[in-house]
Structure 1
Amino acid sequence: MKLDFLLIAPEIALAGLAFLVLALDLIFLRSKKKGLLGWISAAGLAGVLVLLVLLKDTQGNLLRSFLADPLAFDFKLILLVAACICSLASVDFAGRHLRYPGEFFSLLLFSTLGLMIMVSAGDLILLYLGLELGTISLYALAAMQKDRPRSGEAGLKFLIMGAVSSAVFLYGASLLYGSLGTTVFADMSAAEPAGPALSLGLVMVLAAFAFKIAAVPFHMWAPDVYQGAPTPITGFLSVASKAAGFAALLRLFMGPLYPLMGQWFPMLMVLSAFSMIVGNLLAIPQSNIKRMLAYSGIAQVGYILIALAAASERGTASAIFFLFQYLFTNLGAFIVITMMGSAHGNDEIRSYAGLSRRNPLVALCMLVLLLSLGGIPPLAGFWGKLFLFWTGIEQGLYSLVLIGVLATVLSLYYYLMVARQMYIEEATDKTPISVAFPAAFALVICTFFVIALGYPKPWMALAEAAARTFGFPH
């Protein structure tokens, strides 16, 4: 059998970059040049991103377990861009707040590598290996700020809850294997489904990934972990973990488990409805902006689950497009939180008072990002929600769409509450806030793409190409 290693060239390059950063960390051990590691990570990730784009048309599979197709391309694009922006935003942060910046950046790269393997998995075993490589690195990253007790608590809570969800996934996967006789997705599609063990396995696998994407009622870890983890990692986790989790759900439920739609469809409906309702209601009383965005992220998961419940080509494309815009919108918001946390030493919403006068550019970028999260036209978030809701209407999911629209209106309250602090409230400290160039550059990139995705056609074309991977009936 011929092995085409070009299919895994981006993963090989990323693994090499991670080991290079570790080696350079040893070289810079007693040097003050450790800030270079962030720049090297960002530049290396940009190089891997270019390699991925150059190999876009190199499609196929490796031993039927590793898939290189348009779906994998789209999600790897999201993961690499998220990691690159996170590296840029962390250059100053890591130098100021972390004792071991080299370990921080190498773990970020290893996490990205694991999640990239996960989105290309065509086999339950490889899916699990990618999942563990990606999440174990995230457990360590969440606890990286050893001088903050909340960081250690976040890492421990994430580890325990993550271990439970991994065990649930393994048991569910074993039931799927026992019922279908294979772990390869392509062979699972051809197998004859039968028995209650298959249904139980399906429920357990769905529950495991509902934890990874923080859908209600598997969301309890998210607010504490988001609040305690280093802020750049919170931003990366909020985007990358969700993207990889949804990629796995799409691979399984729009692929080999699609014939069992009658069993998983009601579960997705319930997860979607409760995530939208609970996420938005619990975001309103929050005074800590990281916790507020944690609950906001739970609500966003509910919106995306509308598209998965639609189980159609347009629904899949809408979910992928939504994740494209969510990448820039949410990550940009967390970059601002990183800046403000460094300036004030806390993440309270009241610390944003008077930001428009202390740093007008940062305030303007944050306003654009918040309006996009709220679905205000013509920004990217508006189109993301519009495509999701339109898909739901086409498939007759009127109750979910109604909940989604009402939840979106409700979400404007807490997004505009932050805007009110920035533009209306007076700051007690009126000293101008200066920001580091790498983080400012990353923020401008995010804001630019949030505006650019207001013209959604080319991005939607990418998403539609990925959706055609599943060969939905027309």
Structure 2
Amino acid sequence: MMKWVLFIPELYVVLCGLVFFILSLSKQASSKRLHKIAVTLAGIGVLVTVFCARQNGMVFFDAYRVDLFSQVFKLLLALGTFWVISSCNELKGIDERQHAEFYFLVFICTLGMMMLVSAVELLTIYVALELSSYTLFLLVPMRSDSNKFVETGIKYFMVGVTASAFMIFGISFIFGMAKTTYVSGVMEALPKVINEPAAIAGLVLALCGFFFKQALFPFHSWAPDVYQGAANQVTTFIATASKMAAAAMVIRFVGFSAGESAVFIKVLITLSILSMTFGNLVAIIQKDIKRLLAYSSIAHAGYMLVGILSMTERGYASAIYYAIAYLIMNYSIFMVIMKIADDGHNLQIKELAGLHKRSPLLAMTLMLGLFGLAGIPPTVGFTGKFLVFAAALEKGYLALVIIGMVNATISLYYYLIVIKAAYLLEPVRPYPAIRVDAWTRSMSFVLVILSVYLGVFPDKFVALTEAAARSLPY
């Protein structure tokens, strides 16, 4: 008898997608009604995921593992989806006739990512990745003025399918070396042959799909154009929820080597350094805030990899904590962007001038989000960087940590440019007043409190991430 109760969060998301599939067939539903239904369903989804957080077991012929590691990431995915949908009350960047389809694709993408973090069989992982990827390929060009950004959708699709091709090619190498597609069998067989060129090539190629999701250098080329070209709500979803699933799978795949291959570790160190350095240097010259955050995400993928490549329990725990921190910090910033650019246009940094007068609360939320990304205490971002650097130091990667700290210092420059615009610059022309509704006000307070509380009192959350890391079968 199948333990279907282990699949409850995914079944619930399927139900949510089915609701909006049916609503998409009828053009009678108003945008406000659709939003209320979506927020309600997404909120219940968070509660369902919390309720199922302690479940353990294997389903689908042992191709699907439910444990604390997968459940923590499912909770992050459910929370990220809820936060994004809660900010879609206007949704002016997307044609009103496509609102039901938008929510349908968001829920289906969440389903794919939830399946991804629990899949422990290579082909199941690949199918789940494709499910989440293709829904994003459809969401990106779903913009009111899509003719201006049609190239963005095509570029995202082409780069995405190329990364998928590399990944399935790498999986074929792994299967050839391990003689199995089950993660448990791969973990047992691969460390014995990890110094073989085919094993290293297979692992690196298989990681391409997840590095693409993370926008790690050199798989980053899609990120700036997609961040800029997609509707603000879609960009928020890509920048928050989708990064959680990618982080989970990079942790799982990197662990396959068990740290036995010096060549593989050198490849990861090189990618981490290049990603941090390239992302931070190019972000300095950006004028569009979404493009700036895209290059920032490239750098943060490098920081997260610093913790992961330690290949220790503490390293994996630090990467999980960093993922939690990144979700909070990034959503804080994007929520402010969506409120300021409530008509759906792309926000320029200069448009933030005088924000502290137009809305002190949004200015503070933006500032704390940026301080977190820069790693300034006492924010959650500082604690996240401290944990990943500490894990790397334990493994003796002193030079890598120094490079990471130098890059964190460089990033201060462009984050402070944004804060300077919000607090010190006067607008060259009067901007309209910002309407901050009760929900946005509440979310701002929650995000500010979370950002500071997790930075000052991280103990319980660090213990949770360590327990999640222990549940990994390494």
After TM superposition, the score normalised by the length of structure 1 is 0.94
Structure 1 residue 213 corresponds to structure 2 residue 210: no
Distance 1:318 1:166 in 2: 27
Where do 1:300-319 residues align within 5 Å?
300-319=300-319
- The CA deviation string for residues 73-108 of structure 1, in whole angstroms up to 9 with x for no partner, is 111111111100000111212587543110001100
Matched AA of 1:143: P
Distance 1:196 1:321 in 2: 33
**Structure 1 460/136 Cα, relative in aligned 2: closer, same or farther at 3 Å?**
same
Structure 1 residue 156 corresponds to structure 2 residue 154: yes
Distance 1:242 1:138 in 2: 12
Distance 1:173 1:453 in 2: 38
**Structure 1 280/342 Cα, relative in aligned 2: closer, same or farther at 3 Å?**
same
**Structure 1 385/333 Cα, relative in aligned 2: closer, same or farther at 3 Å?**
same
Distance 2:33 2:449 in 1: 25
Structure 1 residue 143 corresponds to structure 2 residue 141: yes
1:75 alignment counterpart:
73
1:321 alignment counterpart:
321
The alignment's C-alpha RMSD in Å is 1.8
Asked whether the 8 Å contact 1:88–1:442 carries over to 2, the reply is: no
2:471 alignment counterpart:
469
1:59 alignment counterpart:
56
Structure 1 residue 449 corresponds to structure 2 residue 447: no
- 1:368 Cα deviation after fit: 1.3
Structure 1 residue 246 corresponds to structure 2 residue 247: yes
Distance 2:449 2:226 in 1: 29
Matched AA of 2:56: Q
**Structure 1 41/431 Cα, relative in aligned 2: closer, same or farther at 3 Å?**
closer
**Structure 1 87/319 Cα, relative in aligned 2: closer, same or farther at 3 Å?**
same
Q: For structure 1, which segment, 141-150 or 389-398, has the greater mean C-alpha deviation from structure 2 after superposition?
A: 141-150
Query: Once superposed, which parts of structure 1, at least 4 consecutive aligned residues long, lie more than 6 Å away?
Result: none
Distance 2:267 2:112 in 1: 28
Return 5+ residue gaps in structure 1 as ranges: none
Asked whether the 8 Å contact 2:121–2:182 carries over to 1, the reply is: yes
- 1:343 Cα deviation after fit: 5.6
**Structure 1 7/216 Cα, relative in aligned 2: closer, same or farther at 3 Å?**
same
Matched AA of 2:462: M
Where do 1:31-180 residues align within 5 Å?
31=29, 33-62=30-59, 63-94=61-92, 98-180=96-178
3-state DSSP of counterpart to 1:342: coil
- 1:336 Cα deviation after fit: 1.1
- 1:117 Cα deviation after fit: 0.3
Distance 1:295 1:110 in 2: 27
Asked whether the 8 Å contact 1:145–1:152 carries over to 2, the reply is: no
- 1:325 Cα deviation after fit: 1.1
Matched AA of 1:208: G
- 1:146 Cα deviation after fit: 4.1
Q: For structure 1, which segment, 134-143 or 257-266, has the greater mean C-alpha deviation from structure 2 after superposition?
A: 257-266
- 1:60 Cα deviation after fit: 1.0
Asked whether the 8 Å contact 2:269–2:400 carries over to 1, the reply is: yes
Distance 1:53 1:96 in 2: 31
3-state DSSP of counterpart to 2:49: helix
Matched AA of 2:186: M
**Structure 1 52/410 Cα, relative in aligned 2: closer, same or farther at 3 Å?**
same
Structure 1 residue 13 corresponds to structure 2 residue 12: yes
- 1:177 Cα deviation after fit: 1.0
3-state DSSP of counterpart to 2:88: helix
Asked whether the 8 Å contact 1:275–1:302 carries over to 2, the reply is: yes
3-state DSSP of counterpart to 2:467: helix
Asked whether the 8 Å contact 2:54–2:71 carries over to 1, the reply is: no
**Structure 1 341/97 Cα, relative in aligned 2: closer, same or farther at 3 Å?**
farther
2:434 alignment counterpart:
433
Distance 1:129 1:233 in 2: 22
- 1:471 Cα deviation after fit: 5.6
Where do 1:325-340 residues align within 5 Å?
325-340=325-340
- 1:202 Cα deviation after fit: 1.4
3-state DSSP of counterpart to 1:61: strand
3-state DSSP of counterpart to 1:67: strand
Matched AA of 1:281: L
Number of equivalenced pairs: 468
3-state DSSP of counterpart to 2:65: strand
Q: For structure 1, which segment, 84-93 or 206-215, has the greater mean C-alpha deviation from structure 2 after superposition?
A: 206-215
Distance 2:92 2:101 in 1: 10
1:297 alignment counterpart:
297
After TM superposition, the score normalised by the length of structure 2 is 0.94
Distance 1:177 1:96 in 2: 43
Matched AA of 1:387: L
Distance 1:151 1:339 in 2: 22
Distance 1:41 1:464 in 2: 33
2:341 alignment counterpart:
341
Asked whether the 8 Å contact 1:353–1:423 carries over to 2, the reply is: yes
Asked whether the 8 Å contact 1:288–1:347 carries over to 2, the reply is: yes
Return 5+ residue gaps in structure 2 as ranges: none
Matched AA of 1:349: I
- 1:46 Cα deviation after fit: 2.1
Asked whether the 8 Å contact 1:372–1:381 carries over to 2, the reply is: yes
Asked whether the 8 Å contact 1:344–1:351 carries over to 2, the reply is: no
Asked whether the 8 Å contact 1:146–1:152 carries over to 2, the reply is: no
**Structure 1 97/331 Cα, relative in aligned 2: closer, same or farther at 3 Å?**
farther
- 1:241 Cα deviation after fit: 2.4
Asked whether the 8 Å contact 1:151–1:230 carries over to 2, the reply is: no
Asked whether the 8 Å contact 2:109–2:135 carries over to 1, the reply is: yes
Where do 1:370-449 residues align within 5 Å?
370-427=370-427, 428-449=429-450
1:196 alignment counterpart:
197
Asked whether the 8 Å contact 1:98–1:145 carries over to 2, the reply is: no
Matched AA of 1:181: K
Distance 1:155 1:440 in 2: 33
- The CA deviation string for residues 323-367 of structure 1, in whole angstroms up to 9 with x for no partner, is 101101101211111122226843110011111111221111111
Identity of aligned pairs, percent? 34
3-state DSSP of counterpart to 2:416: helix
Asked whether the 8 Å contact 1:286–1:292 carries over to 2, the reply is: yes
Distance 1:127 1:469 in 2: 18
- 1:211 Cα deviation after fit: 1.6
- 1:439 Cα deviation after fit: 4.5
Asked whether the 8 Å contact 2:87–2:335 carries over to 1, the reply is: yes
Asked whether the 8 Å contact 2:211–2:250 carries over to 1, the reply is: no
